[in-house]
Chain A
Amino acid sequence: MLRFVIRRLAWAVPTLFLVTFLVYIALRIGTNPVESYKRINPRATPAKIQQYIDKNGLDPNYVRGYFRWLVNFVTLDWPRSIKGSREVWPQLKDALANTLRLGAAASVVGIFFGLMLGVYAALRPGGRRDVGVNTAAFVGISIPPYVSAILLQLLFAVYWSRWFGSTLFPTSGVYPPGHTGFNLLLMLKHMVLPVTVVAIQIIAVYARYMRSSLLDVLSSEYMRTARSKGISERRVLFKHGLRNALIPVVTIAALDVGSIVGGLIITENIFSYPGMGKYFLSSFGEGDFPLLMPWMVIIVASVLLFNLLADVSYAWLDPRIRLE
């Protein structure tokens, strides 16, 4: 098992470098950092421009440029943003914290309820509750998150206040505008709608996964063997059925969680939630390379890390994989 993990780690490290290199190339081609700099700072002197090029590793030679950027990045000598020449990390840190909070809450809620619903449905396949859950999940998947976000916003922001006078759940931001300091209740209130929107999708997806996986397992031969032992039905379901059904689900969950850091862009945008999504959209729109690269590195690292976690958890849960 340990060898397995080490082998996977050995893969992950060069992949990290390779992918960040590809991202670096894509961003240089796509956002043209030098032009962006000149555009935003039209009065910059050639010396300043050259300093910018050096700091960000924007040499004409992509490989050399990448390594220059890498050195600066790893030594925490990060260039400032193009627009406003601000420090990158404070901005990024806040955005990351906000998104992590949102993503974690939505994932926990979504996966938990999704799995429960999936089991609930699979226990009586074809029955009324199975059809009910399946259809509901289906509708959940078919409604893109921003549609449900818009509709929820419509409901709570516009109409609720019109009918009831006050807003029940706020529809923007982490705190009401102008608020400073930490207030758990306010924060939670602001998170309710965005979390709901994201959780709906997650519940729908995981309910279907779990249902499908459990149905597969329930029709396996070893379930029949387990029953033939005369053990309690609950033990059959949990120790044999769920234990096996959870394997593919856990793997997928690990992958999904990995991409959640960058996956909430739309929802954050609609609810004006200042997270990684907003950070990305504004810096991408401006072509602000110094802001974008660290963001990308976090995303890439997160994806690769959770890819690794998914692999490891799969091997841990399913002994058949470990031989590989």
Chain B
Amino acid sequence: MSTSVLQVRDLKVTFATPLGPLVAVRGVDLDVSAGEMTAVVGESGSGKSVSFLAAMGLLPKSATIEGSVVLDGHQLVGASPKLMRSVRGRLMSMIFQDPLSALNPVHRIGAQIAEMLRAHQTMSERAARARAVELLEIVGIPQPGDRALQYPHEFSGGMRQRVVIAMAIANSPKLLIADEPTTALDVTVQAQILEVIQKVQAQFGTAVVLITHDLGVVARVCERVNVMYAGRVVERAAIHDIFDAPTHPYTRGLLASLPQAGVERLVPIAGFPPNMLRPPSGCAFRTRCAHAIDACGAGVPELRPQGESMTACIRSGELTVSA
């Protein structure tokens, strides 16, 4: 088994809100191996982004983080700001959904990438700018020398996201977290960006966590999938198993709701996403699950093996699996 780059155990994130404490992440277990592309899938509010923002230490002070996040041997929960600063941008980077607002509008692109380089490597400004141009070339920006002198608003959406990727992998991090990198882009551009991520992954050996709600994107590029619901991972499987043999009713619901050629009516998952201020007791999905039984409300189900996958459904063994 390849080395583990990221190990998340029982991660809990609580926000202090005017309406009371909101537990956005209720105990997440996750593993990412070196060089692999893992997906984290879930709807809005499932806690997928918050989990990784917590790992990066980018949450506001009103958030309480508990549990364990080990990145390349470093414990990140409760780490000193100094350690976090040395880890961020060097061992672990994050790219976000909207590349326009993610880039500082008044600094040139080349300078922003150079800043990333010089934060963790001793380099002259000149050398950093040169390396920045090289990075722009790697991510496929034409005429990188000229473009490095331009400002973010002079780029199109797809180009900007490439720039963001170039910035994120500047220091060859072990882990790249991509939070909905394609959601704000056109479909054609989405495919290009995914290719860039794959290329970068191959060239630098970076492990990638792809956070998304779009299963189509997942199918293209990922090797493993973690499905999150209501702040917990409810299923973890290899890419083929997820699509061929989903073991958790939520995953099955997600797959069933995908539009398919030839199918006339869309099949949504019944009910509403849970109120994270007062989530349902036991399995959070039981209020929407067709197979829920009384025992489902008894305690929060842990991830257990089911065939090749891990699942958090106590009935996973008995339920028939449909494609």
Q: Please pick, from B94, B104, B105, the residue contacting A228 in the complex, using a CB distance under 8 A.
A: B94
Q: Please pick, from A221, A240, A319, the residue contacting B101 in the complex, using a CB distance under 8 A.
A: A221
Asked if B56 lies at the interface with its beta carbon under 8 angstroms from chain A, I say yes
The prevalent SS among residues of A at the interface is helix
Q: Considering only CB atoms, which chain A residue lies closest to B116 in the complex?
A: A229
CB-CB contacts below 8 Å: B71-129 with A: 81, 84-90, 93-94, 96, 98, 101-107, 115-116, 119-120
Please give, as numbers and ranges, the residues of chain B lying within 8 Å of A224 by CB-CB distance: 58, 96, 102
Contact B58 A227 (CB under 8 A): yes
A239 to B107, CA, bound (A): 9
Asked if B243 lies at the interface with its beta carbon under 8 angstroms from chain A, I say no
Contact A222 B103 (CB under 8 A): yes
Contact A231 B119 (CB under 8 A): yes
A109 to B96, CA, bound (A): 42
Please give, as numbers and ranges, the residues of chain A lying within 8 Å of B56 by CB-CB distance: 228
A317 to B107, CA, bound (A): 10
With known contacts A221-B96, A221-B98, A320-B151, A229–B103 Cβ distance under 8 A: no
Q: Considering only CB atoms, which chain B residue lies closest to A323 in the complex?
A: B153
Instruction: Mark interface residues in B39-73 (1 if CB within 8 Å of A CB, else 0).
Output: 00000000000000000101000000000000000
Please give, as numbers and ranges, the residues of chain A lying within 8 Å of B115 by CB-CB distance: 229, 231, 239
Contact B105 A244 (CB under 8 A): yes
Please give, as numbers and ranges, the residues of chain A lying within 8 Å of B103 by CB-CB distance: 222, 225
With known contacts A320-B151, A320-B153, A230–B104 Cβ distance under 8 A: no
A233 to B103, CA, bound (A): 17
A220 to B100, CA, bound (A): 11
Asked if A180 lies at the interface with its beta carbon under 8 angstroms from chain B, I say no
Q: Please pick, from A226, A232, A233, A323, the residue contacting B104 in the complex, using a CB distance under 8 A.
A: A226
Please give, as numbers and ranges, the residues of chain B lying within 8 Å of A239 by CB-CB distance: 107, 115
Q: Please pick, from B96, B98, B119, B153, the residue contacting A230 in the complex, using a CB distance under 8 A.
A: B119
Asked if A318 lies at the interface with its beta carbon under 8 angstroms from chain B, I say yes
Please give, as numbers and ranges, the residues of chain B lying within 8 Å of A240 by CB-CB distance: 104
A36 to B123, CA, bound (A): 74
Please give, as numbers and ranges, the residues of chain B lying within 8 Å of A233 by CB-CB distance: 81, 85
Asked if A243 lies at the interface with its beta carbon under 8 angstroms from chain B, I say yes
Please give, as numbers and ranges, the residues of chain B lying within 8 Å of A229 by CB-CB distance: 88-89, 115-116, 119, 167
Which of B84, B98, B104, B105 lies at the interface centre, i.e. has the most chain A CB atoms within 10 A of its CB? B104
A210 to B87, CA, bound (A): 32
Contact A319 B96 (CB under 8 A): no
Contact A230 B87 (CB under 8 A): yes
Q: Considering only CB atoms, which chain B residue lies closest to A318 in the complex?
A: B106
Contact A230 B105 (CB under 8 A): no
Q: Please pick, from A222, A232, A244, A320, the residue contacting B102 in the complex, using a CB distance under 8 A.
A: A222
Some 9 contacts from A to B, beta carbons below 8 A apart, are: A224-B102, A225-B96, A226-B104, A227-B58, A230-B89, A233-B85, A239-B115, A240-B104, A243-B104
Q: Which 4 A-B pairs have the closest CB atoms?
A: A230-B89, A230-B88, A221-B101, A229-B89
Chain A residues packing against B (C-beta within 8 Å): 220-222, 224-233, 239-240, 243-244, 247, 317-320, 323
Chain B residues packing against A (C-beta within 8 Å): 56, 58, 81, 84-90, 93-94, 96, 98, 101-107, 115-116, 119-120, 151, 153, 164, 167
